[in-house]
Amino acid sequence: MQIPTTMRRRVPALAAFLLLLLTGIAALLPLRISEPRPASAPTGDFSAARAVAQLDHIAKVPHPAGSAAQADVQEYLVGELRKLGLRPEIQTRVAPSNADSPAVVGSVSNIHATIPGKKPTGRILLVAHYDSVPTAPGAGDDGSNVAAILEIARVLKAGAQLRNDVEILFTDGEEYGLLGSRGFVGAEASTYRAAAPRQTVVVNMEGRGTSGPVMMFQMAGTGLTSAVKASGAVATSFSAAIYDRLPNDTDLTVFDEAGMRGLNFAFMDGSAHYHTGHDSISRLDAASVQDMGDAALGAVRQLGGTDLSQSGPDATYFSLFGTVVSYPAWLALPLALTALLSVPLLLWFGRSRGLSPRGAGRAALTFPLTLIGAAAIGLAGWSALSLARPDFALSEGSVHHLGRYAWGGALLLLVLLVAWYRWARRKASPLDIVAGVLGWFAMLAVVCAVLLPGGAYLFTWPALIGLAVLAVTLRFTRSDSPWRVVAGAVTALPVVALVLPVVLLLLPALGLSLIAAPLVLAALLAAVLLSLLEPLPSRRALTVGMLATAVAGAGTLVVGTALDGYSADEPRPVSLGYVLESNTGKATWVSDGDTSQPVVGKFLPGDPARFEDRVPALDDAVLANGVAKAAPLDAPRTANVSSTEADGVRTVRVRIQAPADAHTIAVHAGTGAHQILDATVEGAKLTGGPKRPQGDWGWSFSYAAPPAEGIDVVIRTRGKGPLPLRVVSTAVGLPDGVGAPTLAADQSWASWPSVAGQTFVVRTFRI
């Protein structure tokens, strides 16, 4: 029986599709998370069950720095380390954050212990922070990793002694500005460790959610790719290159600034619970704890036997089919230039073999429109969703069901790409179009090699391999061969292997508000797959298919938006805070949300307004508000006020005391008639000059975990008349007796930092 011509022409496309499918599966298998090992697991293995069992003592209730709950956690951790035969010490000091911005100072108590090595060439610093934000129990961030370190320490003590020292560091005050790590580095500034910082390798463990695979998302320093491979975690130098340019920080930021090397591990799914009261033990995925423990333990064991006095060159690295590929970073630009130069060579080589430079150029010139369209789908989609669902805007895109919106956006993107491909096919062959798209990969490779070297591989290898596949296809197939038609899809193999995992990892990391970025990468990925449509269906059939796909995409977004409800397991974020201006007795409800919020919306009849003058601690946020009943709350106080003046410089000394329940206190100096030269807070030096961009309160600092006896402040200033100080204390909870709402089981205070569920007491002094 003779096979119909159309069927014969479909066979290569089917074969290419199956090959791409298998490649995609192989690329995504490493993103699966492990089964958690039971408490009966061998003593030499990390057991998530053993680690999670300790969370009742670590993350049952919120335990911000300086709180009584944190003191209980501290006592438990010290006791557990002693049970392992270690000698933990509590390092208490006052630590300042960056003094050139609105500074944060705090009293922190780090917990430090050492597992000695046999013949150390350096040390591995195993780090997690044991404070939570004031409004969350912190099971994911970062109680799970504190518990994991206890389990890792047990495994290390039960096994053979490593060559290098392993130091355990539970930092305090991370949530307020990396204060614990700053205090630790400051304490070591005069020791031999500071003289050889590269011999310290930090393994930092973070929780940016409650579930998901563990990713090694940042490498500080060089020579650590072997440790990354040993960890088994998904890794890419692209994420590190992006992270280094974002304003986000972890404890590793401080250690990196001090010259130490390090690896940053995190899981990022379930970000809707991040920094909320629902970051709880019951919502923590033990499989992610297992992944984190295995990754950190693998890295520590490899580093434990390495000569840490030696470090290799900077590297490009990425996960591929369960292993980690790496090569010197200096190769990024030569490889990218090779890819770019290969484009005109291919056009010259293929000109006599059926490739049209004009067709490829036409595709290359118009392809950026699809990337712009992908970004527009993401940006416009988020704008529309945030208008239709203000609760999504309140959560900044960290929604419970991100996948359905990603699918909706992907379907709309597919329609856009197919429309472009159909238009391009009028005057270009499938191979012409693929050559044009690969030309963009080559150009992006060069741009990244210059500006973002760690991410250049995402475009370099697809361009190099894809162009080589096209050259081989042009050389060994006839122009009418069905295999030539689908060769373009085969060029997508490296794109699927390299780009697809990055797209899926970016989604939970960036959330719905920044979905445009993964959609642009997805457009690059899908563009080289479009030749799988060959031979193209009839114009009518293709149009009907595109319309159906567009309806499905839009329907997914519309229906998903309408039906995306809340429950006790997946609560709705709401925001309501309370402000008391104690000098006037004026009380105000404030909110990051709007009047559509259930329960709290009725408290917010006023027009949204800025509060940076009345409550400088709220900065320039525009907040919904309403009049509230004044509560008899304790306000900040001053004591031991004194002042001296010499050569036009006035030195003001004052002790500022916060209410007993305050977790932070912010001090703002009026700069309308005064210039702040500098200050010291509990001995920590702060610079002068403006620290806030606008308003009359141009200089400020915050103090985390203020002691009951108060903080001693010395300010040097120029100016006439008394110095105005506006002090704002912040405490968790809303006052009694003012009609504050009680949240239902399917509601939660919005993610910290926000005004949600907090009370701000303002008092102004003239000193």
Among 376, 228, 411, which Cα is nearest to 306's? 228
Q: What is the pLDDT of residues 669-692, one digit of tens each?
A: 999 889 999 999 999 999 887 777
Contact (Cβ atoms closer than 8 angstroms) between residue 653 and residue 642: yes
Angle at alpha carbon of residue 42, lines to 36 and 48, rounded to 5°: 25
Instruction: Give whichever of 3-17, 146-160, 534-548 has the largest mean pLDDT.
Output: 146-160
Residue 643 forms part of a structural domain? no
The boundaries of the domain holding residue 432 are 329-563
Q: What is the pLDDT of residues 293-352, one digit of tens each?
A: 999 999 999 999 999 998 888 999 999 999 999 999 999 999 999 999 999 999 999 998
Is residue 308 located within the same domain as residue 350? Answer: no
Neighbouring residues of 207: CB distance < 8 A, sequence distance ≥ 6:
140, 141, 142, 143, 144, 145, 266, 267
Contact (Cβ atoms closer than 8 angstroms) between residue 142 and residue 290: no
pTM beyond cutoff 0.75? yes
- Give the residue with greater pLDDT, 196 vs 316: 316
Is residue 397 located within the same domain as residue 433? Answer: yes
Is residue 302 located within the same domain as residue 336? Answer: no
Is the pLDDT at 240 greater than 90, yes or no? no
Mean pLDDT of 105-134: 97
Partnered with residue 114 across adjacent β-strands are 167
- Give the residue with greater pLDDT, 245 vs 668: 668
- Write down the pLDDT at residue 5: 55
SS (H, E, C) 696-738: CCCEEEEEECCCCCCEEEEEEEEECCCCEEEEEEEEECCCCCC
Element (H, E) at 483: helix 482-490
Tokens of 105: 């100072």
Q: Residue 577, Cα to own-chain centre: how many angstroms?
A: 26
Is residue 168 located within the same domain as residue 275? Answer: yes
pLDDT band per the 50, 70, 90 thresholds, residue 544: very high
Residue 374 forms part of a structural domain? yes
Long-range contacts of 87-93 (CB under 8 A, 24+ apart): 87/113, 87/114, 88/112, 88/113, 88/168, 89/113, 91/183, 91/184, 91/187, 93/183, 93/186, 93/187
CB atoms within 10 A of CB 594: 16
Residue 733 forms part of a structural domain? no
Is residue 367 located within the same domain as residue 227? Answer: no
Last residue of a domain, one of 271, 287, 312: 312
User: What is the average pLDDT score of the chain?
Assistant: 92
Last residue of a domain, one of 542, 563, 584: 563
Is residue 301 located within the same domain as residue 426? Answer: no
Residue 5 forms part of a structural domain? no
Residue 537 forms part of a structural domain? yes
- Write down the pLDDT at residue 695: 74
| Residue that is written with structure tokens 């609105």 in the block | 102
Total tally of structural domains belonging to the chain: 2
DSSP 453: G
Partnered with residue 655 across adjacent β-strands are 639, 712
Q: Determine the 3-state secondary structure of 507 from DSSP.
A: helix
Is the pLDDT at 563 greater than 90, yes or no? no
- 579/365 Cα distance (integer angstroms): 56
pLDDT band per the 50, 70, 90 thresholds, residue 363: very high
For 666, list phi and psi in degrees, rounded to 5.
Answer: -115, 135
Phi-psi region of 710 (alpha: psi -120 to 50; beta: other; left: phi over 0): left
Furthest CA-CA distance within the chain? 106
For 289, list phi and psi in degrees, rounded to 5.
Answer: -65, -40
- Write down the pLDDT at residue 370: 97
Among 482, 478, 446, 477, which Cα is nearest to 464's? 446
For 66, list phi and psi in degrees, rounded to 5.
Answer: 85, -5
Residue 687 forms part of a structural domain? no
pLDDT band per the 50, 70, 90 thresholds, residue 1: very low
Q: Kindly provide the b/e burial profile for residues 273-298, where b requires at least 16 CB atoms within 10 angstroms of the residue's own CB.
A: bbbbbbbbbebbbbbbbbbbbbbbbb
Is residue 306 located within the same domain as residue 376? Answer: no
Among 350, 413, 341, 351, which Cα is nearest to 377's? 413
- Give the residue with greater pLDDT, 587 vs 506: 587
| Residue that is written with structure tokens 């741009």 in the block | 447
- Give the residue with greater pLDDT, 531 vs 230: 230
Is the pLDDT at 367 greater than 90, yes or no? yes
Long-range contacts of 182-186 (CB under 8 A, 24+ apart): 182/95, 182/96, 182/97, 182/254, 183/91, 183/93, 183/94, 183/95, 183/108, 183/110, 184/91, 184/110, 184/112, 185/254, 185/255, 185/257, 185/258, 186/93, 186/95
Is the pLDDT at 490 greater than 90, yes or no? no
Q: What is the pLDDT of residues 722-746, one digit of tens each?
A: 999 999 999 999 999 999 999 999 9
- 168/70 Cα distance (integer angstroms): 18
Neighbouring residues of 86: CB distance < 8 A, sequence distance ≥ 6:
113, 114, 115, 153, 157, 168
Is the pLDDT at 653 greater than 60, yes or no? yes
Q: Kindly provide the b/e burial profile for residues 538-565, where b requires at least 16 CB atoms within 10 angstroms of the residue's own CB.
A: eeeebeeebeebbebbeebbeebbeebe
Q: Residue 80: which CATH number?
A: 3.40.630.10
- Write down the pLDDT at residue 289: 98
CA distances from 716 to 45, 428, 643, 665, 669 (A): 57, 72, 10, 20, 11
Burial class (CB in 10 A: 0-12, 13-18, 19+), 514: middle
Mean pLDDT of 7-34: 84
Is residue 289 located within the same domain as residue 384? Answer: no
Residue spans of alpha helices (H) in 331-398? 332-350, 357-366, 368-388, 390-394
Residue 383 forms part of a structural domain? yes
- 732/136 Cα distance (integer angstroms): 10
Is the pLDDT at 4 greater than 90, yes or no? no
- Write down the pLDDT at residue 196: 82
- 260/231 Cα distance (integer angstroms): 19
Is residue 296 located within the same domain as residue 343? Answer: no
CB atoms within 10 A of CB 86: 18
Is the pLDDT at 6 greater than 60, yes or no? no
Is the pLDDT at 214 greater than 80, yes or no? yes
- Give the residue with greater pLDDT, 464 vs 191: 464
For 765, list phi and psi in degrees, rounded to 5.
Answer: -120, 155
Among 141, 25, 140, which Cα is nearest to 504's? 25
- 122/304 Cα distance (integer angstroms): 9
Residue 72 forms part of a structural domain? yes
Contact (Cβ atoms closer than 8 angstroms) between residue 464 and residue 342: yes
Is residue 257 located within the same domain as residue 382? Answer: no
Tokens of 309: 């006095």
pLDDT band per the 50, 70, 90 thresholds, residue 170: very high
Last residue of a domain, one of 531, 563, 595: 563
Is residue 288 located within the same domain as residue 368? Answer: no
SS (H, E, C) 543-576: HHHHHHHHHHHHHHHHHHHHHCCCCCCCCEEECC
Is residue 154 located within the same domain as residue 62? Answer: yes
Q: What is the pLDDT of residues 688-708, one digit of tens each?
A: 877 776 678 889 999 999 999
Pairing of strands 674-681, 606-610: unpaired
